[in-house]
Amino acid sequence: MKSILQKIIAQNKQQEKETADAMQAEINDPQTSDSRRSFLKKSALGGISLGAFMGLSFEDTIAQTTSKVKRASNPSELKITDMRYALTSVLGGTAIIRIDTNQGIYGLGEVRDGADPRYALMLKSRILGMNPCNVEMIFKAIKQFGGQSRQAGGVCAVEMALWDLCGKAYNVPAWQLLGGRYRDKVRLYADTPEAGSPEEQAKLIKFRTEDQGYTWLKMDISIGELKGKPGTVVNSKFWENAQGNLAQWGDQSNYMSYGNTLHPFTQIQITDKGFEELAKIAENVRSMVGYDIPISTDHYGHFDHNNGIRLGKALEKYRLAWLEDIISWEYTDQWKTISDALETPTTTGEDIYLLKYFKPLIDKKAVDIIHPDLASSGGLLETKRIGDYAEEAGIAMAMHQAGTPVSFMANVHCAAATQNFLALEHHSVDLPWWESLVKTTDGRKMITKGYANVPLSAPGLGIELNEDVVKQHLDKRDKTFFAPTKEWDERRSHDRIFS
């Protein structure tokens, strides 16, 4: 028996040596490409052939190549043990959550900007003890607790964190778990807010296009720009506040306020003069950036779909990339009317939760582009499903994103894995410390010249928190930093929605 084992070992050593010699010869060959040479070197360092390079015996080779395997990280035995949060100051308060496990690895997620972290904390008792790698199963159990827009923030935060955990457990990037990637870098569009003057707007645009290299912009064309311009808006006095602004965006301090009225019911109308003024804004920006850079538009104000059509026609000659959220997303038939009347593409979706509620827009081809926010739409897998469903109907997908680098990277993985993807929003271009909230686990730059770099090998979302920087940018209302949340451990209801 011993002689047979020795013979097998000798044969293996010879095979190892032959393999190593062949690999080394290919590495030394000047005609071998750099990428192939890099692959061979990594293969040699990470595999059994290492033994032949080092002159080790087969037994020593086995010991060497398995010495750093984390046997404690057994995905099938993973269990969720805790959930905690830190509320950052990004966009008026954006919470990062951390889901811990019994094996020391954890996942990061994010509650959508402006949403309460308790949307996530209420789910803690419902997921404790579960295996985080059963992502779809857990999502189906908790999705009943999500709602439209920011009410979905908790469910989506948990889903993000589960993919981060699952990727770390299996040592693969999140995009790989979604079925693979279509691209190595993800095109970004830079949000460009309204400015006080054309000169200030020019500075913002120059910073984005020339200094930072963005190849796609989004700008606001709001009826707020018509303040102080007589004869541009019908019914404006009714909506003006003490500062003379059109206060029709909402008033959370007064639930009886007319400012909480939905778009179709304001009867704000824009005159021909008003449309001319708004068209001047688009013309000014287009003249600055030319036609090589797509320009999307957003944040028009609350008015009905007839005004939306007239505005779209006034802006048509500037070949905008899209008109976004002209009216609220749920008015499918009105969206169809707008889209049929215009040549400029239309889009909506940042406040829609779940594929179920995207389907009417897609099935009726009521918009030209869907625009989910992954922190509201259901997380990585649900958003990919939304994109895939739209692809079948010939509809493209752009992605809305306004948060910390945690949700940003979740979006990057989803965008990389979805074929009909167009561009992802970057809403924090003007925050110099934003990228430093995290550090990439593979050493890559997160953003290069208007593109997000897809982590090709880093597991999970491919980031870890830069805790010192996060602590410097906590929301003033809550300076705790991943403090214990024991009060959310106890489950107090039977939640299943079927008998």
Give pLDDT tens digits for 249-294: 767 677 887 778 889 998 999 999 999 999 999 999 999 999 999 9
Spans of all domains in the chain: 177-459
C-alpha neighbours within 13 Å on the C-beta side of residue 171? 5
Rounded to whole angstroms, the Cα distance separating 16 from 154 reads: 52
Provide CB contacts within 8 A for 77, sequence distance 6+: 102, 103
pTM, whole model, 2 decimals? 0.85
Q: What is the mean pLDDT of residues 381-385?
A: 98
Cα-trace Rg, the chain = 27
| Length of the chain counted residue by residue | 499
pLDDT at 313 over 50: yes
pLDDT tens-digit series, residues 340-377:
999 999 999 999 999 999 999 999 999 999 999 999 99
309: nearest Cα among 335, 276, 331: 335
- With H, G, I as helix, E, B as strand and everything else as coil, classify residue 29: coil
What is Dmax (Cα atoms) for the chain?
100
Average pLDDT over residues 199-227: 92
Beta bridge partners, 395, equal: none
Q: Of all residues in the chain, what percent carry a pLDDT higher than 70?
A: 86
b/e burial code for range 275-298 (CB count within 10 A of at least 16 → b): bebbbebbeebbebbeeebbbbbb
Least trusted range by pLDDT, from 240-244, 265-269, 320-324: 240-244
* pLDDT over 90 percentage in the chain: 74
CB atoms within 10 A of CB 356: 12
Pairing of strands 185-192, 451-453: antiparallel
pLDDT at 47 over 80: no
Q: Rounded distance, CA 335 to CA 477, Å?
A: 39
Band of pLDDT at residue 56, cut at 50, 70 and 90? very low
Q: Output phi, psi for 199, to 5 deg.
A: -65, -45
Query: Which architecture does CATH list for 177-459?
Result: Alpha-Beta Barrel (3.20)
Q: pLDDT confidence of 240, banded at 50, 70, 90?
A: confident
**What's the rounded mean pLDDT across residues 56-67?**
43
Q: What is the pLDDT of residue 202?
A: 85
Q: How confident is the model at residue 73 (pLDDT cuts 50, 70, 90)?
A: low
Distance of CA 251 to the CA centre of its chain: 28
Mean pLDDT of 447-476: 98
- Can you read off the two tokens belonging to residue 110? 């994010």
> Quick one: pLDDT band at residue 8, thresholds 50, 70, 90?
low
AA letter at 304:
D
